[in-house]
Amino acid sequence: MVRVRFAPSPTGPLHIGGVRTALYNYLFARQQGGKMILRIEDTDQTRFVPGAEQYIIEALDWLGIQFDEGVHIGGPFGPYRQSDRKALYRQYADQLLADGWAYYAFDRPEALEAKRKEYEAQKKTFQYDCNTRSQMENSLSLGMEEAQRRIDAGEPYVVRFRFPENIDITVHDLIRGDVTMNSRLLDDKVLFKSDGMPTYHLANIVDDHLMEITHVIRGEEWLPSAPLHVMLYRAFGWESTMPQFAHLPLLLKPEGNGKLSKRDGDRLGFPVFPLEWHDPKSGEVSSGYREQGYLPQAVVNMLALLGWHPGTDQELMSMDELIRLFDISHISKNGAKFSLDKAKWFQHEYFQQLSDEQVAALLEKEVLERGITANHDYLQRVAAMMKERITFPSELWDTCSYFFVAPTEYNEKDVAKRWTPDMHIHMQKVIDILNTVPFEHDAIHHALLDEYIAANSLNTGKVMNSLRIAVVGRTVGPDMITLILTIGKQETIRRVERAIEKLS
Ligand code: GLU
């Protein structure tokens, strides 16, 4: 039974890179008929941000990424928040200490800082590892008796992992193949602190084991920690049930060099967070895909293809299709460049998939906000006609306003180009035609374009665009006669009369 987890730390809003990690876990779990778990990794209390956990839950819910077990819904392997599991980790640290896989270290922060400086002065980087641990204050260099005396005296300590000297550690990665590192290069990471809290590494491995996780799908930034994690499984004697690893490629800046950051989003005008985020400390507001009007289906589809491809050139895929097609072996090793144009393209495509009814409802909101009422059929007709011109709901009013209010101003450039001094004569003729012929497409078309414009060798573009200026205020919009039929005879005539008065 496949069991995967998304294990964010509640240190702020969830970056879209994190959303993609959650999505890939979800697609894999669903496809394999497995379980998807939400675990909150909040062991580092110094980085805890209030509201972040709720934000993560709300964001994933908005995107349709569902969980079978988790901090918000419970489940048979709970609790799912590491701070609620605190009492459980100590025994595992003790086990490693007893088996010689870990040791106590007493080095004060100042002493570690001094060491770092000393190394820096020699243009070297200090690392607490098998080469340096004997120079430091720990139970290996001081002896266990002295260490116990210090602990009994209440001296603060940490528990560090003890890497064996000079062994090769291989991580089998489903995306990258075998990645091997030598233990001489790896630092003796802190696993447990005397305040009773485990660090990420210990809690993560213990929980993945206890929660019977089968696959760890996470960001590439965790690849350097993976040898330690493999060693922890070995040290605990859990290697036979160790999960399989898949480290996802980075999401890159649009230019392609470096990790996509919040600053890129600010600089280029796109959100890097799924939902708007109000920072509780600074009060700073960061924009979100949801608040910018993106549809969750568009965000999901776009993110799915940032680092994975279905093996064909199909681009539009619903969540169900993604679940069907997802395949870890089609995840790329290389970073995936974020593209705002692509994001907008997906949004436009998914906006077109909304029903006229749904677009009409969005439009009605805009209309009502401006104190205008419109009947349902009318809204739906406008929605059907204008949908293809819209990408974001925020464009609805600007694009459709003339269906609800007559223009009060006329685009100067368009007027200068189209509204010739004789135009009032032609516009008066339009009014006459509307007043006499049946109010339907073919009749108006024939009377205006054939019997008047063509028969008098007039410039069709000039006359029709002037009519558009009169009705819309500028020279953009859908088919002119359909437009007239939609807004109605009397309203069209009123607008043309007003334009004659104002422009001639
Ligand atoms: N808590 C880690 C994070 O915030 C989880 C990494 C992992 O999936 O192992 O990314």
Mean pLDDT of the chain: 96
Cα–Cα distance for residue pair 278/272, rounded to 1 Å: 14
Separation of alpha carbons 53 and 72, rounded Å: 10
Report the CATH number at residue 315: 3.40.50.620
Residue 451, domain CATH: 1.10.10.350
Does residue 269 sit within a domain?
Answer: yes
| 6 and 50 within one domain | yes
Sequence-distant (6+) residues with CB within 8 A of 207 are 7, 39, 82, 85, 213
Q: Does 347 reside within a domain?
A: yes
Check whether residue 339 and residue 426 sit in a common domain: no
Distance between CA atoms of residues 143 and 156, nearest Å: 17
Name the residue among 400, 388, 389 with its Cα closest to residue 364: 400
Residue 227 pLDDT level (bands cut at 50, 70, 90) = very high
Q: Flag whether 464 is in a domain.
A: yes
- Residue at token pair 């907008």: 344
State whether 304 and 373 are in the same domain.
no
Are both 117 and 141 inside the same structural domain? yes
- Give the model confidence (pLDDT) of 426-466 as tens digits: 999 999 999 999 999 999 999 999 999 999 999 999 999 99
pTM of structure: 0.93
Q: Is residue 309 part of a domain?
A: yes
Residue where one domain finishes, among candidates 147, 165, 192:
192
Query: Does residue 225 fall inside a structural domain?
Result: no
For the Cβ of 8 lying below 6 angstroms from any atom of ligand 1, the answer is: yes
- Band (pLDDT 50/70/90 cuts) for residue 263 is confident
- Please say if the pLDDT value at position 206 is more than 90: yes
Question: For residue 271, what are its two tokens?
Answer: 């959100």
SS3 label, residue 456 = coil
Range list of β-strands (E), 80-142: 102-105
Does residue 312 sit in the same domain as residue 346? yes
Flag whether 222 is in a domain: no
CA of 249 to the centre of ligand 1 (A): 15
Give, in order, the Cα–Cα distances in Å from 396 to each of 289, 372, 390.
Answer: 17, 15, 7
Q: Which residue among 48, 218, 250 has the greatest number of ligand 1 atoms within 8 angstroms of its CB, and so is best to mutate? A: 218
* Average pLDDT estimate for 119-132: 96
- Structural domains counted in the chain: 4
Instruction: Tell the residue number behind the tokens 């339009």, with chain if given.
Output: 430
Q: Are residues 255 and 349 in the same domain?
A: yes
Are both 297 and 346 inside the same structural domain?
Answer: yes
The CATH number of whichever domain residue 104 belongs to comes to 3.90.800.10
Q: Are residues 180 and 105 both part of a single domain?
A: yes
Average pLDDT over residues 283-287: 94
The sheet with strand 244-248 has its strands ordered as: 69-70, 35-38, 3-6, 215-219, 244-248, 168-173, 177-182
Instruction: Judge whether 241 lies within some domain.
Output: no
Residues 266 and 285 in one domain: yes
* pLDDT range class, residue 504, cuts 50, 70, 90: confident
**Distance, C-alpha 499 to centroid of its chain:** 47
Q: 160 falls in which pLDDT band (50, 70, 90)?
A: very high
Give the angle subtended at the CA of 347 by the CAs of 51 and 299, to the nearest 5°: 35
- Residue 115 corresponds to which tokens in the numbers above? 């060491």
Residue 84's pLDDT band, with cuts at 50, 70 and 90, is: very high
Is residue 41 within 6 Å of ligand 1 at its C-beta? Answer: yes
Which atom of ligand 1 is nearest to 217's Cα? 8
**pLDDT interval class at 499 (50, 70, 90):** very high
Look at strands 168-173 and 190-193 and give their pairing: unpaired
> Residue with the nearest Cα to atom 2 of ligand 1?
8
Which tokens belong to 208? 């993945």
Indicate the residue among 174, 192, 210 that finishes a domain. 192
List the catalytic residues.
Answer: 262
Q: In whole angstroms, what is the distance from residue 230 CA to residue 257 CA? A: 30
Co-location of 438 and 392 in the same domain: no
DSSP secondary structure string, 368-421?
HHTT----HHHHHHHHHHHGGG-SSGGGHHHHHGGGTS--SS--HHHHHHH--T
Under the banding of pLDDT at 50, 70 and 90, the label for residue 262 is: confident
Query: Is residue 216 in some structural domain?
Result: no
Domain housing 465: 412-503
For residues 57 and 91, membership in a common domain is answered with no
What is the rounded CA–CA span in Å between residue 477 and residue 468?
A: 8
- Residue 256: pLDDT above 90? no
